[in-house]
Amino acid sequence: MSNLPRHVYVHVPFCRHRCGYCDFTLVAGRDDLIDRYLAALAIELDRVPEPLELDTVYFGGGTPSHLGPDGLRRLFDLLAMKLRIATGAEVTVEANPLDVTAGFVAACRDLGVTRVSLGGQSLDAATLKALDRDHAPDDVRAAVGTLLDAGLLVNLDLMTAAPGQTLAAVARDLAAAAALGVQHVSVYCLTWEQGTAFESARRRGDLVPAEESLERAMFEAAIDGLTAAGFEHYEVSNFARPGFRCRHNEAYWDSRPWEAFGPGAARFDGRTRTTNHRSTVTWINKVLAGEVALGDIDAMTAEQAARERIVVGLRRRDGLDREAFRAASGFDLDALASDAVTRWVAQSLATDDGSRVRLTRAGLLVSDALWADVLL
Judged by beta carbon, residue 62 or residue 263, the one nearer ligand SF4 is 62
Contact between 263 and ligand SF4 by CB under 6 A: the answer reads no
Looking at the DSSP bridge assignments, the partners of residue 155 are 117, 184
Contact between 15 and ligand SF4 by CB under 6 A: the answer reads yes
Contact between 264 and ligand SF4 by CB under 6 A: the answer reads no
- Give me the least distance between CB of 66 and ligand SF4, in Å please: 8
- Give me the least distance between CB of 152 and ligand SF4, in Å please: 19
Is residue 309 classed as helix, strand or coil in its secondary structure? helix
- CA atoms of 200 and 191, how far apart (whole Å): 13
- Give me the least distance between CB of 278 and ligand SF4, in Å please: 13
Pairing, β 153-160 against β 184-189: parallel
Looking at the DSSP bridge assignments, the partners of residue 294 are 276
Judged by beta carbon, residue 61 or residue 363, the one nearer ligand SF4 is 61
CB count in 10 Å sphere of residue 369: 10
Looking at the DSSP bridge assignments, the partners of residue 7 are 56
**Applying CB under 6 A, which of residues 4, 22, 171, 345 lies at the interface with ligand SF4?**
22
Looking at the DSSP bridge assignments, the partners of residue 351 are 358
Judged by beta carbon, residue 94 or residue 352, the one nearer ligand SF4 is 94
**Applying CB under 6 A, which of residues 56, 63, 117, 329 lies at the interface with ligand SF4?**
63
- Give me the least distance between CB of 230 and ligand SF4, in Å please: 27
Q: What is the DSSP letter of 150?
A: T
- CB neighbour list of residue 193: distance below 8 Å, 6 or more residues apart: 21, 22, 23, 199
One DSSP character per residue, 21-70 reads T--SS-EES-GGGHHHHHHHHHHHHHTSSS-EEEEEEEEEES-GGGGHHH
The single-letter code of the amino acid at 226 is L
Contact between 64 and ligand SF4 by CB under 6 A: the answer reads no
3-class SS string, 317-356: CCCEEHHHHHHHHCCCHHHHHHHHHHHHHHCCCEEECCCE
Contact between 192 and ligand SF4 by CB under 6 A: the answer reads no
> Backbone phi, then psi, for 52, in 5-degree steps?
-110, 135
Size of the site for ligand SF4 (CB under 6 A): 11
**Applying CB under 6 A, which of residues 10, 27, 58, 61 lies at the interface with ligand SF4?**
61
Give the per-residue contact string, 84-123, with ligand SF4 (x = CB under 6 A; - = no): ------------x----------------------x----
- Give me the least distance between CB of 159 and ligand SF4, in Å please: 9
Judged by CB under 6 A, which stretch of 20-28, 303-311, 312-320, 361-369 contacts ligand SF4?
A: 20-28
Chain residues binding ligand SF4 by CB under 6 A are: 15, 18-19, 22, 24, 26, 61-63, 96, 119
